[in-house]
Amino acid sequence: MGYRQSQGDHTLFIKHSISGGVTILIVYVDDIVITGDNFVERDKLRKRLSTEFEIKELGKLKYFLGIEVSHSEKGIFISQQKYILDLLKETGKVDCRPCETPIDLKHRLENDEEGATTDKGQYQRLVGKLIYLVHTRLDIAYALSVVSQFMHNPKDSHLQVVYRLLRYLKSTPGKGILYKNHGNLNLECYTNADYAGVLIDRRSTSGYSTLLGENLMT
């Protein structure tokens, strides 16, 4: 049908119509999202899919792969509140004491070779589940980049930082990203770095944010 597979995400297919407009198809196993500003092409795609598969149209997007989608006059708001609450329940942290920041700003984490050991598999699974939250919780990206450095040999001191992340999420389960439906489409990037701040190898840590208009993307 003329759709091209994205090289950045192989579950994403895009079609630019000659008559104008773009249509986007996202497929993940049996979950499908269709969007775009070419309404004729969208209807055509839906009809073609229904001849090939048994599909049920659920209307405007509300939930997809653990991501909740809310529509309003201001724009589209995405969050993972249910995912966070389920994660807190799974880890037994529903009644934990909330924390105001995801990580100590002056943390000095290192390999901690002499520290108490912790379950490596459990640590990796928990950090992996937290990584999936970065889609809507960009505020925990840095903290996750820190704890991910110790996946091969985690210690109890590293696990406590992961638990702090869960405590922070307990205090902010409803946070997410608002994509405003007005404003410009200017692309802006900001970056900064410390100098030799990593205790392990004295490397610098860089950070960046990318905005399309007023909307934070990465």
Cα–Cα distance, 176 to 156 (Å, whole number): 30
Cα–Cα distance, 187 to 211 (Å, whole number): 6
Cα–Cα distance, 56 to 152 (Å, whole number): 43
Stretch 188-197: mean pLDDT: 89
pLDDT exceeds 80 at position 199 = no
Q: What is the band of 9 on the pLDDT scale with cuts at 50, 70, 90?
A: very high
Please, which residues bridge with residue 69 across strands? 78
Residue type at 211 in one-letter notation: L
Q: What is the band of 20 on the pLDDT scale with cuts at 50, 70, 90?
A: confident
Closest by CA to 142, choosing from 116, 114, 164, is 164
Q: Which of 71-75, 195-199, 205-209 shows the lowest per-residue confidence on average (mean pLDDT)? A: 195-199
Q: Are 177 and 70 in contact (CB under 8 A)?
A: no
Q: What is the band of 108 on the pLDDT scale with cuts at 50, 70, 90?
A: confident
Q: Which of 33-47, 85-99, 159-173, 198-212 shows the lowest per-residue confidence on average (mean pLDDT)? A: 198-212
- pLDDT tens track for 50-78: 999 898 989 999 999 999 999 999 999 99
The per-residue pLDDT for 90 is 94
